Amino acid sequence: MASVDTAVEPSDSTISEPEIGGVRRRDFINIAAVSFAGVGVVATVFPLVNQMNPSADVLALSSIEVDISAIEPGQAIKTSWRKQPIFIRNLTAPEIEEANKVDVSGLRDPQTLAERTQVGKENWLITLGVCTHLGCVPLGAAQGEIKGEYGGYFCPCHGSHYDTAGRTRKGPAPTNLEVPEYSFLTDTVVKIG
């Protein structure tokens, strides 16, 4: 049991007392206690929010190997990487030529075909099949699909046109189709991610 000899007045609340001529010891205790609790709250909240980030099993799906030996020039395949579509396209010589002909400085997102492919593998255009506007899957990879005015891809959602290098040429898409990190393990197997 507490043994307080003086009657405690309700107005003894140290919080409302105006500060006169410097700080009191209790101010230090208050600040120290609240700061300590604040650090504790931050340390607690971090894992409680971080648990929403991709979990280990999701991250484990983050690289795939694709056999591209069966893709003839002019063909493309769709595959899935991190639950998102990937377009792997074997460009024909005229398509490469057309992509290189473009004046890069006039593009919305200036990039050459060489910057979007790997050295010696300029015919392999590997991009995410995700329109950079709002995330639909553009047409043009499968046989018979509309390829848009520039012969690459066409997004039916809001009418974005991509050229044979997967660059945005017309419509609302702000950037070129994203090129994921990838490497050729052999001439016919590519590792994405």
Partner 1 sequence: MSFPWAQQYKPATEFGQWMDDRLPIGRLVYNSLGAGYPTPRNLNYMWNFGSLAGVFLVVQIVTGIILAMHYAANADIAFDSVEHIMRDVNSGWMIRYAHANGASFFFIAIYLHIGRGLYYGSYKAPREMIWLLGVVIYLLAMATAFMGYVLPWGQMSFWGAKVITGLFEAIPLVGKPIQELLLGGFAPDNAALNRFFSLHYLLPFVIAGVIIMHIWALHIPGSSNPTGVNVKGKQDTVPFHPFYTAKDGWFVGLALIFFTAMMFFMPNALGHADNYIPANPLSTPAHIVPEWYFWPWYAILRAFTFDFLFVPAKLLGVLAMFSAILVWFFLPWLDRSPVRSGDYRPRFKKFFWFGLIPCIAILGYCGGAPAEEPFVMMSQLASAYYFAHFLIILPLLSRIEKPEPLPNSITEAVTGKPLQQAS
Residues within the interface to partner 1 (CB under 8 A): 1-5, 7-8, 10, 13-15, 33, 37, 47-48, 50-53, 55-58
Least separation in angstroms between CB 12 and partner 1? 9
Distance, CA of 185 to chain centre: 24
Q: Is 158 a catalytic residue?
A: yes
Report which of 161, 172, 107, 163 is spatially closest to residue 134, judged by C-alpha positions: 172
Least separation in angstroms between CB 35 and partner 1? 13
Least separation in angstroms between CB 111 and partner 1? 35
Residue of 24, 26, 78, 158 with catalytic role: 158
In DSSP terms, 124 is beta-bridged to 90
Beta carbon nearer to partner 1, 82 or 191: 82
Q: For residues 121 and 132, is the Cβ–Cβ distance under 8 A? A: no
What does 48-90 look like in DSSP terms, one character per residue?
HHHTTSPPHHHHTTS-EEEE-TT--TT-EEEEEETTEEEEEEE
Beta carbon nearer to partner 1, 38 or 94: 38
* Residues labelled as active-site residues: 158
